[in-house]
Amino acid sequence: MMTISPINAFSDNYIWLIERGQQAFVVDPGEPDPVLTRLAERGLELAGILITHHHFDHTGAVQVLQEKTGCDTWGPASSPAGIFDHTVTEGDRASVLGESFEVLEVPGHTLDHIAYFCSAQSALFCGDTLFVGGCGRVFEGTTAQMRASLEKLSALPTDTRIYCAHEYTLGNLAFAQMVEPDNVALSTFVAACQDKRARDVPTVPSVLEGELSYNPFLRWSSAAIRQTLIDAGRLRDDSPDGVFSAVREWKNQA
Ligand SMILES: [Zn+2]
């Protein structure tokens, strides 16, 4: 059986550990020591590393882990992060401990950003593209690219679990409540997440079905969000891209 668990790194990163038997993969290792410690504790052999995008807090441990374990690496083609053993693009598949992980290109946060979807495990590893209750900042792409990437992810099966790379949930949800204050699914989810954080339990993964109901960055069709933007004088372009851009700009300033 395959299990997935978080390894904490830096102040709020999650490195995802995927294990089956004595073999393991990690996703986006920014720091080597927490990974090496966990592998030793659990008696695991590192078989591979999956990278979603080039940012240092997702790739900083790749070289050390490769040198120490000889594992293979998978990452986006034409990435500033360098050469991986397996460079992958849209529709490619990575074999991860006997399961097939499909590659989805999701540019926006960075241009090289990819996500890995495992349908057998209903698991999506989406780096800094979709967060619980939020989305990544648009550093390299356009907001239209980012929205298209999020639309691609939102078309996955609704039971897909969202393994993103940061614990940003409570801040994201506070913003979500500002743009959609009467959303009941949102307020219910906020209470559940506050309870988890009070007990130091990760809020990640979430489930796509929930994200579609409360995440303002997937809700460009929401009449309530559109009205909030109009009331705040922030809606200049009344299209899905316009709504998404206005929400993203507001969050950047919040
Ligand atoms: Zn990033």
- pLDDT of 83 strictly over 90: no
- pLDDT of 48 strictly over 90: yes
Interval between CA 227 and ligand 1 midpoint (Å): 31
How many domains does the chain contain in total? 1
Interval between CA 136 and ligand 1 midpoint (Å): 7
Among candidates 21, 50, 26, 51, which has minimal Cα distance to 36? 26
Catalytic residues, by residue number, are 53, 55, 57-58, 109, 128, 166
Q: What is the CATH number of the domain that holds 245?
A: 3.60.15.10
The percentage of the chain sitting over the pLDDT mark of 70, rounded to a whole number, equals 100
CA gap 40, 201 in Å, rounded: 23
CA gap 232, 161 in Å, rounded: 33
Residue-range definition of the domain harbouring residue 226:
3-253
List, for residues 153-209, the tens digit of each pLDDT value.
Answer: 999 999 999 999 999 999 999 999 999 999 999 999 999 999 999 999 999 999 999
The confidence band for 78, taking pLDDT boundaries of 50, 70 and 90, is confident
**Beta strand 3-9 pairing with 13-20:** antiparallel
- pLDDT of 215 strictly over 90: yes
Q: What is the pLDDT of residue 254?
A: 85
What is the value of pTM for the model shown?
0.98
List, for residues 105-154, the tens digit of each pLDDT value.
Answer: 999 999 999 999 999 999 999 999 999 999 999 999 999 999 999 999 99
| Alpha-carbon Rg for the chain in angstroms | 18
Interval between CA 51 and ligand 1 midpoint (Å): 11
The mean of the pLDDT values for the chain is: 97
Average pLDDT in the 11-25 region? Answer: 98
Contact between 167 and 12 under an 8 Å Cβ cutoff? The reply is yes
CA gap 205, 218 in Å, rounded: 17
